[in-house]
Amino acid sequence: MADALSAVVDELTSDPSNAWARDLGYRPVWAGSTSARIAIIGQAPGRRAQESGIPWDDASGVRLRSWLGVSDDQFYDPELFAVVPMDFYFPGKGTSGDLPPRKDFAPRWHPRILAAMPDIALRVLIGAYAQRYYLAGRAQANLTQTVRSYREYLPAEFPLVHPSPLNYGWHAKNPWFTDEVVPELARQVSVLLEPRQKV
């Protein structure tokens, strides 16, 4: 299974559709192993993550790890967490932030990558792109309603708002997220990781 995962990522990296990224010296930004328990599925790496090669290597990542209730060491342990964004490459800057992930990337690569990680028990879906793809036909009218309805998607999926510090306005309007959703997310994560904690 590990060979299958490595083969898929090698194929992805060398695919002609990613030649532009190779020309820029970009490597796919992701993480995981065949024994990972939780998949973090967000939009796409930002410029900083693309340059460092480390996913969630910013203030948003710090906040995400606090929501998950895990340390940096735990989060970056591929035997515990897989990081499988909707696109493995920085999509570039648009007029109002980063461009969206390529529409064909996740349908083409995610099924094969996740099939090679059979121990994934929970997919944490961060933001509208991940939620629209993985909750197709099951998402609510908007992201806020989908996140608030998180219990409907358990135990396989857990929808989240993006942990960017810039979302302070959303959090001010939706205090239930910190009061209810974050503790339940941390509880779900703790239950899944407990058998894998390293002594």
The pTM of this model reads 0.95
Please enumerate in sequence order all residues whose Cβ is within 8 A of that of 2, keeping only pairs 6 or more positions apart, or say none: 33, 34, 116
List the one residue out of 128, 184, 130 whose CA is nearest residue 155.
Answer: 184
pLDDT at residue 31 is higher than 90: yes
Across 143-156, average pLDDT: 98
CATH number, span 2-196: 3.40.470.10
pLDDT at residue 4 is higher than 50: yes
Q: For residue 196, what pLDDT is reported?
A: 60
Q: How far apart are CA 178 and CA 171, in angstroms?
A: 8
* Residues, the chain: 199
Q: What are the tens digits of pLDDT across the range 92-130?
A: 988 878 899 999 999 999 999 999 999 999 999 999 999
